[in-house]
Amino acid sequence: MGIDTPPITPQQYEVLHGGGAEAAEIAKQRLSRRSFIRRSMLAVWGISATSAVAGALYMLYPNLSGGFGSVQTVGKTSEFKAAQPADFKLELAGVYHRPVARAYVMHLAVNTKFDLQGALLQSQLSSENFVKDKDGSYWISLYQKCVHLGCTVPFRDNCLSFKCPCHGSHYNVTGEYLDGPAPRSLDRFQMTIQGDNVVINTGLINNTVAHPDSTTRLIPPPAVACTA
Ligand code: FES
Cβ pair 189, 143 in contact under 8 A: yes
**Dihedrals φ, ψ of 111, to 5°?**
-100, 25
- Kindly tell me if the per-residue pLDDT of 152 is higher than 90: yes
- pLDDT given for residue 156 in this prediction: 97
- pLDDT given for residue 24 in this prediction: 56
Tell me which of 149, 156, 161, 162 to substitute to probe ligand 1's pocket, judged by most ligand atoms within 8 Å of the beta carbon: 149
For domain 70-206, which CATH number applies: 3.30.413.10, 3.40.250.10, 3.40.50.150, 2.102.10.10?
A: 2.102.10.10
Q: Where do the structural domains in the chain lie, given as residue ranges?
A: 10-62, 70-206
Average pLDDT over the chain, rounded to an integer: 85
How crowded is residue 178: how many other Cβ atoms within 10 Å of its Cβ? 20
- pLDDT given for residue 128 in this prediction: 97
Q: Which residue has a Cα nearest atom 1 of ligand 1? A: 149
> How many percent of the chain have pLDDT more than 90?
70
Q: Is the CB of 183 under 6 A from ligand 1?
A: no
Q: Which residue has a Cα nearest atom 4 of ligand 1? A: 167
What is the position in ligand 1's atom list of the atom closest to the CA of 181?
3
- Kindly tell me if the per-residue pLDDT of 116 is higher than 90: yes
- Ligand 1 center from residue 34 Cα (angstroms): 56
- Kindly tell me if the per-residue pLDDT of 35 is higher than 70: no
